[in-house]
Amino acid sequence: MTAERRRPLTLKDVSEASGVSEMTVSRVLRNRGDVSEKTRVRVLDAARALGYVPNKIAGALASQRVNLVAVIIPSMSNLVFPEVMMGISEVLDDTPLQPVVGLSHYRPEREEAVLYEMLSWRPSGVILAGLEHTDAARAMLSNAGIPVVEIMDTDGEPVDAMVGISHRRAGRAMGEEIVKSGYRRVAFLGTKMPLDHRARKRFEGFTQALAKAGIEIADQEFYAGGSALLKGREMTETVLTRTPDIDFLYYSNDMIGAGGLLYCLEKGYDIPAQLGLAGFNGVNMLKGLPRVLATMDACRFEIGHKAAEIIAARALGIGEVGEQRITLSPEISRGDTLRPPVA
């Protein structure tokens, strides 16, 4: 259509093409200030005809405003985080703010580097997963002068705002429920991730609840990498072979739990009477398995939603600036793999 062009178009080009000053062109393009309908149309036509795309870099520098929200999460393949993102997007879609995602891959130094990178674009706010960061990262966050929301976990002190659940309490709740349901030989199966603090806290709360009932973890198994479904299957086989009298399997996520469930069904275990299972997250992708795995919702969508609301309220000065430290309460769903409490 248009001939080959190297230099991107500037306001000046539109100004010349429309015979209107750069300033007025700028006003039209941003819908700011009074502009007569006639010039408005003229400018818009010129801009469209040229194929002008505004330069936000220059705009941001001049206005000292960047409508970007930095979101730093550990990974995208965890299923958990895409849902958090949806919650965030749903809120930001009604504002001029835009999320920009960075990944830490569960590594603090990587998180620090990504944060540094993102802050150098001067975003209007930051949302990041977890409360554990490097000292440098924490310093950057408190010095940035923008709203910061730490999400997912609330077992600790946030730099600024936080929205999440208590993973320690979540682990404890599941532990208590298992005890109440009469299971006694309990195994834990999870990821080998020293840096997944949320999984660690759940594990701690879990063992604590069992301890209170005089029960110790009967066996445990950890994995790293690979297909979660398959790993769940393999770990379950390992545990059940090594400790045949196990009567409950607690998985650190639903995906490995699903693999374990498929394995147990094939082996003909009587579930949940003889053997109970539970995961964590409430991944609805797993609806459709032969049985519904007991689990606990991590409130992912709501967490994203509330975090974005806090950012929007403070960055834009719109909406209520409500409570800044929100702990949501996840609920256990028993599914078909956790028998009812015994009287």
Partner DNA sequence: ATGAAAGCGCTAACAC
Partner DNA sequence: GTGTTAGCGCTTTCAT
Binding partner of residue 33 among its own copies, DNA, none, CB under 5 to 8 Å per kind?
A: DNA
Residue with Cβ nearer its own copies (184 or 291): 291
Residue with Cβ nearer DNA (66 or 179): 66
Out of 139, 211, 213, 318, the only residue in the binding site for its own copies (CB under 8 A) is 139
Out of 175, 259, 276, 335, the only residue in the binding site for its own copies (CB under 8 A) is 259
142 belongs to the binding site for its own copies (CB under 8 A): yes
Name the segment binding its own copies (CB under 8 A); options: 31-39, 100-108, 200-208, 321-329: 100-108
Residue with Cβ nearer its own copies (214 or 317): 317
3-state SS of the chain? CCCCCCCCCCHHHHHHHHCCCHHHHHHHHHCCCCCCHHHHHHHHHHHHHHCCCCCHHHHHHHHCCCCEEEEEECCCCCCHHHHHHHHHHHHHCCCCCEEEEEECCCCHHHHHHHHHHHHCCCCCEEEEECCCCCHHHHHHHHHCCCCEEEEEECCCCCCCEEEEECHHHHHHHHHHHHHHCCCCCEEEEEECCCCCHHHHHHHHHHHHHHHHCCCCCCEEEEECCCCHHHHHHHHHHHHHHHCCCCCEEEECCHHHHHHHHHHHHHCCCCCCCCCEEECCECCHHHCCCCCCCEEEECCHHHHHHHHHHHHHHHHHCCCCCCCCEEEECCCEECCCCCCCCCC
Binding partner of residue 262 among its own copies, DNA, none, CB under 5 to 8 Å per kind?
A: its own copies
User: Cβ of residue 20: shortest distance to DNA, in angstroms?
Assistant: 5
Out of 101, 193, 321, 328, the only residue in the binding site for its own copies (CB under 8 A) is 101
Where does this chain bind its own copies (CB under 8 A)?
1-2, 5-8, 51, 53-58, 60-61, 66, 76-77, 82, 85, 89, 98, 100-101, 103, 116-117, 119-122, 139-140, 142-145, 227-233, 255, 259, 262, 266, 284-290
